A and B are shown apart, each in its own frame.
Chain A
Amino acid sequence: MNIYVILKQTFDTEEKIVLRDGQIEEDGVKFVINPYDEYAVEEAIRLKDRHGGTISVVSVGPDRTTEALRTALAMGADEAALISDERIGQDEYSVSKALAAYLGKQTFDLILGGNFSIDNGSGQVAVRIATLLGIPHVASVTQLTVDGSRATALRDAEGDAETIELTLPLLLTAQQGLNEPRYPSLPGIMKAKKKPLRTLSLEDIGLTEADISPKTQRESLALPPARQAGKLLKGDPAQQAAELVRLLRTEAKAL
């Protein structure tokens, strides 16, 4: 089985966001594989363990993304490709076109991605790719079984669970609960250094700048107003409870 995993490198979830000159400061930030994409990598490895095949990880991003791809290789992926080209930008239309152009030239049974990226959080790219490639998809998958050319996926739809059957090739996005991603082992990290990691430009994937011309653009960035610590309520628990309800009604006007 040929499995492709699309992944993105993101800030660690515990990072604070700092703006400098209107841009998000990246210096000193810890980068990780987007947590949802990590589930996708893990699921690919489990599928390969059961069914054999190869796992390729692919990303669009700056050069620092190679670190995330090496981590995926250390976890157990076989090869990696980084589409790294300043002309691609952040617009989901552009990113999905680039990935679809690359994936469209590969032979795949399954494409796995994350439900959304924890930085941009729009959740568009994977679903766009499925549509561009003309394959069915299931988003937000918490359980997956593959049997020959048939797949059964359990989809989390805002708490409801939908069981969906479909045939390969297809695209799935991983939701929390799908699995528990492994840590790379030391031998895994050593092996990863020798695994192929290619860097590709727009020309390498057969696109021109016009093909990926963005549809949206960022005007500005801002931090939300900082919240102030409010008041700690005094008294015994019964008094605190009564005071809280009173304040919600009179001061916060929330009841």
Chain B
Amino acid sequence: MSHIYAIIAETREGKLRQVTFEAIEAARQAKGETDRIAAVLIGHQVSELAEELARYVDGPVHVIDRSDLAAYHAEAAFAAASAALNELNPGSVFLGHTAIGRDLAPMIAARLEAGQISDVTAIESDDDGGIVYVRPLYAGKAFERKRFVENTSTRIVTVRPNNFPAAEPLPSPGQVVSHTSPLPNLRSAVKEVVRKTSGKVDLTEAKIVISGGRGVKSAEGFQPLERLAEVLNAAVGASRGACDAGYCDYALQIGQTGKVVTPEIYIACGISGAIQHLAGMSQSRVIIAINKDPEAPIFKVADYGIVGDLFEVVPLLTEEFEKALA
């Protein structure tokens, strides 16, 4: 029997997010030959994005385009997504493991009495052809292989950003279907959204992350890191030590509390490398550590280490990268 895999797409600053294409790729890996992939797009003035999305799926793209969906609003997005999913009747629903996906997926799972496997980093097939989902435990100190039980009606999956390749477009586009049904009365209202991250590279999606620890010494101490991040189109992160000391916002924290990142390059500046921090970044492909203390545990996981003062090394690195990328 063929199933529909529904992807709940995400937009950010007028674009489809990278993780949406990664979720499509994940669904392609999980689906059977006769299964089809559909998409759900919620937002405002997203018709062009719907056409773009349609090039990546062989099923319909259901679009709910309303002015009151311009900013993410849990209740409204849930109502809109539920309406589309009712029509699609999917066997599986895939989302990004993002602020939105983490919020929306469990609502959908609860409503559908469905199982959910969160934060998936890889998909494998078992000896018997069953699909197994790999996901981290303890922020990556361990990994579990998990599967849905046989009789699960719907399977909900959230996909960790930066772990699946982005899907390639298909030769013939899927069809765009517009929804116009009104939203129910809402019990909550989004009063204000402050876009602190506007124009910045998203921490969990960044290919390069530059992170500061206690060694950064102050909020101003992050400036050389930010300058390097600009040159490399990287995101800036922080250790718990730096956040606790008030040098930066908790939103930047990387670790077992905070965010887990898996970039191509991770540059740890003035971070000693507590176990709880290592859990959040040790799956990065290449790790670089800059620290004054040659005994700092961070050097035990770093591919390349520089023992030195970050305030001296980071500006020099910035110059070198500028030259190399010119």
Contact = CB atoms under 8 A, between A and B. Distances in A.
A164 interface: yes
Interface in A167-198: 167, 170, 175-177
B161 to A, nearest CB: 10
Interface string A137-148: 111101000000
A224 B285 contact: no
A254 B234 CA distance: 13
A215 B323 CA distance: 54
A218 B103 contact: no
A14 interface: yes
A157 B99 contact: yes
B98 A158 contact: yes
A233 B306 contact: yes
Contacts of B253: 176
A163 B190 contact: yes
A131 B156 CA distance: 15
Interface in B228-285: 243, 249-253, 255-258, 264-265, 274-276, 279, 282-283, 285
Contacts, number: 274
B256 A93 contact: no
Contacts of B274: 14
A13 B257 contact: yes
Contacts of A232: 294, 299, 305-307
Interface residues of A, number: 83
B64 to A, nearest CB: 19
A118 B105 contact: no
A159 B152 CA distance: 35
Contacts of A35: 257
A234 to B, nearest CB: 10
Interface residues on B, range: 35 or more
Interface stretch (A42-50, A63-71, A237-245): A237-245
Contacts of A158: 98-99, 197, 202-204, 251
A93 B325 CA distance: 49
B143 A92 contact: no
Interface in A98-137: 116, 118-125, 127-132, 136-137
B304 A230 contact: yes
B317 A244 contact: yes
Interface stretch (B26-34, B70-78, B213-221): B70-78
Contacts of B107: 127-128, 130-131
A156 interface: yes
Contacts of A124: 105-106, 109, 116, 118
A19 B144 CA distance: 12
Interface string B101-116: 0110111011101111
Contacts of A255: 324-325
Residue among A17, A93, A132, A252 having the largest count of chain B Cβ atoms under 10 Å = A93
B224 interface: no
B316 interface: yes
Contacts of A217: 146-147, 149
Given A164-B190, A229-B299, A121 B119 contact: yes
Interface in B125-172: 126, 132, 135-149, 152
B313 interface: yes
A248 B284 CA distance: 14
Nearest to B252: A159
Interface in B164-219: 187-197, 200, 202-204
A132 B110 contact: yes
A36 interface: yes
22 contacts: A11-B138, A14-B274, A93-B109, A119-B137, A121-B139, A122-B117, A122-B119, A127-B110, A129-B110, A138-B74, A140-B99, A165-B188, A170-B188, A215-B114, A215-B149, A216-B116, A224-B142, A224-B143, A229-B300, A232-B306, A233-B304, A248-B265
| Nearest 4 A/B pairs, CB to CB | A215-B115, A122-B118, A131-B110, A166-B188
Interface of B: 71-72, 74-75, 78, 98-100, 102-103, 105-107, 109-111, 113-119, 126, 132, 135-149, 152, 187-197, 200, 202-204, 243, 249-253, 255-258, 264-265, 274-276, 279, 282-283, 285-288, 294, 299-309, 312-313, 316-317, 319-321, 323-325
